Structure 1
Amino acid sequence: MERFRVVYRIFADSAAEAMRRAHDVALEQTVEVPADVVPQGFIADEIVGKVGRAEMGERGVFDVAISYSPDSVGTELCQLLNVIFGNSSIQQGVKVVGFEPGATIAERFAGPRFGIEGVRARANRPKGGLISPVIKPQGSSPETLAEIAFRCVAGGADIIKDDHGLADQPMAPFEERTEKVAAAVARANAEFGMSALHFANITGRSDELVERAFFAKRAGAGGVLLMPGLLGFEIVQQLAADPAFGLPIMTHPSFTGPFVLSPETGFTHAMMYGVLQRLAGSDISVFPNVGGRFGFSAEECVSIADACRDPAGIGKPIFPSPGGGMSVDRAADMAAMYGDDVVYLIGGSLLRHGDRIGEAVTAMRRAVDAVPGAR
């Protein structure tokens, strides 16, 4: 049984202190007892994390790999995440910067059902970036949202994504909204020869989530949008692993900012929006784009895209999906930065075009296609 490894960035005054802290992490993430009371034999030899060497980067910054037994995880994603960064996430000066699943964990957690190739096949877009307008704003009626969706598909959209703020509000109740938007997308597909997919936003109590996802499928949605920062990663894995569901999943970054914004705690951007989303089973990972209103750097965004598409990553490579401040004017630069395998979110800026919103989507399509495989 092959152990899996987690690489922690530990902030310490010396290598000796970093190693001491790493041994504390190895205990904290597994047995959660002092070293002198760890039972000898199987628990000490297998369950307790095994600490590798400390590698110094910048002064006072050390990367240490700790390996763990798959027996400490079982088959639950929740427990895998708990071992990776449970109690230690509450400590200062420890950040997760890498994850190597090993053969055993990779077999237990298959990751995305569709990945890049599967989503492309469903959207009938064999090459080039995919265009994904976001229908909004909150407070609109189902009819208004459906009309926006129809016009965007007419303009060449590949994916119609619900805004993550569309839940089950009285202005546009979930079931009515989903039925009308899915019907509008289907009508536009038939009229304009498209294969656009509607991704319905799934929210609600834990006992409602699966049923709402299946309702969206019955209504004609081509995928679902989930927020693992709010709903948990388990619902992503549950739907991704269920062959009866069989729709692509897009994950949204809402509520995850505190996991990545500190330089000394949490996860790297690549881990949170690349590795963990892929591990859970997301096919498309949404994240804030550089130059938008959220402040991610170009380096951070590229690291996310690389983690999503890494051939050596867990399961199938998935689409990175930059959004937040995207516009037609930035399309060419973003295509040059991200290349072909990317889903571009366009949100509020599209609404400036009013009834000519479809023309703006067409312009985005042309701008993206003009820079094929630039990266």
Structure 2
Amino acid sequence: MVIATYRVIDNPQALAKRAEGIAVGLTIGSWTELVQTRHQQVALHCGQVEGIEVIDEVSGGRVIAEISIGYPQANFDGTFASLLTTVFGKLSMDGEIRLIRLQIPNQLAAQFPGPKFGVSGCRARYNVETRPLVMSIFKACVGLTLPELVEQFEAQARGGIDLVKDDEIFFTEAYATPEARVVAYRAAAQRVAEKTGRETAYAVNLTGPVHQLQQRAQKLAELGAGALLVNMVAYGYDVVAALAADPEINVPILAHPAVSGALYGGDTYGIEADIVLGQLARMAGADMVIFPSMYGSVVLGEAATARLIGHLRSESVHRPALPAPSAGIYPGLVPQLYRDFGNDLIVNAGGGIHGHPGGPAAGGQAFVEAIRAVQGGWSLADAAKESDVLRQALEKWGTPS
């Protein structure tokens, strides 16, 4: 059974009938419309009410309740389309109701690809074994020519970071195709590596019509892309799963949360963020998952973040994925990031790198120095005495109070 739990606001006397309506309505449709001889035939596919729990009272005599429904595994075909349509399809339009938990048995979860690389595979690919990875976000890329983009990539790579990722809104190919960018950035990374000893990888935004994505991803991997940035919700989980399952696409998938707020943004509607950005992302094959941090202007909150991280790291039939909290990340936050997320982490920054007084190279280096300090057991204040770039970052952004 797949057990889905919903939070509803309703009259207490209506809960049992509503739960039964969900169980039947999302599986066999209706008992009353079936002739008696068909009852036994479809019974194995009928949903079951697993539990009803009143959580709180609200105005007007209504209550907040959690309803759990079990859906037979035989109803699913190993696609996210079948999973989401079954557990929340037409139900998502039925007033104040929110999908808050999904329990998926291992036998069904194993039909989804999960991460091809996972934490250990990404660490091996990027040659980062004992510390968090550092990723920089391209800023100001739409409308720039290829030489201008290469210049910006080189500036970020000089900071010694591990990954530079495209902006997720970079769809236009008027100035530079994804293929041209991969080739040019890889050459730039090799030039920088001759001086720094470290070759920075490039996470290219995978764009284009859905029916062409797999072929384009294969080509980008062949050309040397370091990762594929995929707008996971905009393109769909099944698209991500197809990419992850393809043996010719031998690069990690970096899942971006664009559009996901439309699913989890309400309190009484939609799907919980940890399901959207954690549970389903890992099942689909995301090796690295970007999500709103707890520190910026777009915030998930501690409880939702903890559940999301739990999905990415829990014991499972799939490899664990790397979390990449995003928005509001600056060098002074590095000790807090360690405390909140541990060592298996991507430190992902845009403004915190590009806004450094010394430019993006200095911004990246400040993060590298901050991580080195934490791993060495030093305070950032002490480390800043020996590092001008870290000192400048702390002077500009400070540390959490």
- Common fold: TM-score over 0.5: yes
- Describe the shift of the 1:50–1:196 C-alpha distance in structure 2 as closer, same or farther (beyond 3 A): farther
5 Å-filtered alignment, 1:273-352, equals 273-312=277-316, 315-352=318-355
| 1:122 and 1:195 in contact (8 A); partners too | no
Q: Deviations 1:92-125 (Å, cap 9, x if unpaired)?
A: 2221121221132022123111111111111111
5 Å-filtered alignment, 1:173-184, equals 173-184=177-188
Work out the percentage of aligned pairs sharing the same amino acid: 25
Pick the aligned partner of 1:162 from 163, 166, 181: 166
Q: Deviations 1:137-191 (Å, cap 9, x if unpaired)?
A: 1222222322332333332212211110112331333332232123323443454
- Asked if 1:35 is matched to 2:43, the reply is no
- Asked if 1:72 is matched to 2:75, the reply is yes
Query: 1:355, CA displacement in angstroms?
Result: 6.6
- Asked if 1:23 is matched to 2:20, the reply is yes
Partners in 2 of 1:109 and 1:4 — Cα distance?
Answer: 14
- Describe the shift of the 1:202–1:131 C-alpha distance in structure 2 as closer, same or farther (beyond 3 A): same
- Describe the shift of the 1:106–1:10 C-alpha distance in structure 2 as closer, same or farther (beyond 3 A): same
Stretches of structure 2 lacking an aligned partner (at least 5 in a row): 58-62, 378-401
| 1:142 and 1:181 in contact (8 A); partners too | no
Q: Which amino acid aligns with 2:71?
A: Y
- Asked if 1:89 is matched to 2:101, the reply is no
Partners in 2 of 1:309 and 1:141 — Cα distance?
Answer: 40
- Asked if 1:55 is matched to 2:53, the reply is yes
Stretches of structure 1 lacking an aligned partner (at least 5 in a row): none
Query: 1:301, CA displacement in angstroms?
Result: 2.5
| 2:355 and 2:363 in contact (8 A); partners too | no
Count of equivalent residues: 368
Greater shift, 265-274 or 72-81, is seen at: 72-81
- Structure 2 counterpart of 1:101: 104
5 Å-filtered alignment, 1:75-224, equals 75-137=78-140, 138-189=142-193, 191-224=195-228
Query: 1:196, CA displacement in angstroms?
Result: 3.4
Q: Deviations 1:205-247 (Å, cap 9, x if unpaired)?
A: 1122112212211221021011122111111000111112121
Greater shift, 274-283 or 101-110, is seen at: 101-110
| 1:335 and 1:368 in contact (8 A); partners too | no
SS at match of 1:235: helix
Partners in 2 of 1:345 and 1:352 — Cα distance?
Answer: 14
- Describe the shift of the 1:40–1:351 C-alpha distance in structure 2 as closer, same or farther (beyond 3 A): same
Partners in 1 of 2:15 and 2:286 — Cα distance?
Answer: 34
Query: 1:373, CA displacement in angstroms?
Result: 12
Q: Deviations 1:238-270 (Å, cap 9, x if unpaired)?
A: 011111212110111111112111111111121
Q: TM-score, normalised by structure 2?
A: 0.85
SS at match of 1:204: coil
- Structure 1 counterpart of 2:382: none
| 2:218 and 2:248 in contact (8 A); partners too | no
Q: Which amino acid aligns with 2:332?
A: D
Partners in 2 of 1:111 and 1:127 — Cα distance?
Answer: 24
Partners in 1 of 2:372 and 2:49 — Cα distance?
Answer: 48
Backbone CA RMSD of aligned residues? 2.2
SS at match of 1:290: coil
